Amino acid sequence: MPEGPEVETVRRGLTRLVVGRKVLGTEVRWEKTISGMAPEEFDAELVGRTIEKVDRRGKYLLFRFSGGLTMVSHLRMEGAYYTVPAGTEPGKHDLVTFHLDEGIDLFYRDTRKFGRMNLVPDADALQVAGLAKIGPEPTEKDLSLAYMVSEFAKSRMHVKPFLLDQSHIAGLGNIYVDETLWQSQIHPLTAANKLSEDELARLRENIIHEITRATEHHGTTVHSFTTAFGEAGEFQNELQVYGRVGEPCLRCGHPLEKMKVAQRGTTYCPVCQVVKD
């Protein structure tokens, strides 16, 4: 489901729906979701704690509980949180239930079961696998052009998998990488270290702008993403290449094409986006 803007949308929803609520009990119906911790231990750790805040870093959610405990949660492809009235029967794909006070149950649903949760002391939260080496947030403040120039120069990887690698820039996924490469007129197979400073400046501006706009539109819903309020995002209506294979390029009119790059479907314009050597 989610890239940075979708996870941020979930974070904002959770902030309104569950911050201030106390955990009365939990039920885990798929143990791998809690990273191998025994469900009894998971429950014992959380019962009695209050959700004080929900933070985000890249595509990770950080639930801050009272008493210095953080739950690091990654939704992977299809994870989703939503609240229901206490006592609601969980469905087949509702893997974890958090029984909260004031008659609220928080459900974690994950059809493909890829998502993971980790309970750690606050101080260790940013050391959890994946977060330890995560790159800067794609914002004007955190993602400088100087960083882009030095970071891209270090790698000969194709720019598409380079951007999907969260250690370079946090929060980009398949949709926003295809969108911003098209906007920047960069071919997905261009080597990262072959991009000029002008191209990197363009790419940087497009990434920051796109992520900002997508967040304002509550994210992109193409398969299953919903906000914590159970609503679809609206940014799918703004996409310029993703899901438009065969349709005309909005810049030159040539039909968009699709290929595999690093095992991921990649939509691009063969005329506007050319490989540099």
In the complex, least distance from residue 195 CB atom to DNA, rounded to whole angstroms? 14
Q: What distances in angstroms separate CA 203 from CA 105, 149, 161, 268, one per listed residue? A: 42, 11, 15, 15
Residue 155 binds to DNA (criterion: CB under 7 A): yes
32 binding DNA? (CB under 7 A):
yes
Active site residue 133: no
- Within the chain, where are the H helices? 4-18, 39-46, 145-153, 159-164, 174-183, 197-216
Tokens encoding 197: 């400073």
Binding part of the chain for DNA, among 1-9, 20-28, 140-148, 179-187 by CB under 7 A, reads 1-9
**What is the identity of the amino acid at 258?**
K
Residue 3 designated active-site: yes
With binding defined as CB under 7 A, does residue 188 bind DNA? Answer: no
Among 68, 252, 265, 276, binds DNA (CB under 7 A): 265
59 is catalytic: yes
Residue pair 18/11 in contact by the 8 Å Cβ criterion: no
- Please say if 27 is a catalytic residue: no
- Mutual orientation of helices 197-216 and 4-18 as an angle, nearest 10°? 30
Choosing from 57, 59, 116, 160, the catalytic residue is 59
Q: With respect to DNA, which residue has the nearer C-beta, 22 or 258?
A: 258
When asked if residue 260 is in the footprint of DNA (CB under 7 A), the reply is yes
| Tokens, residue 267 | 């939509």
Q: Which is nearer to DNA, 146 or 263 (CB)?
A: 263
Residues recognised as catalytic: 2-3, 59, 264
**Which residues sit in the known binding site for DNA?**
93, 112
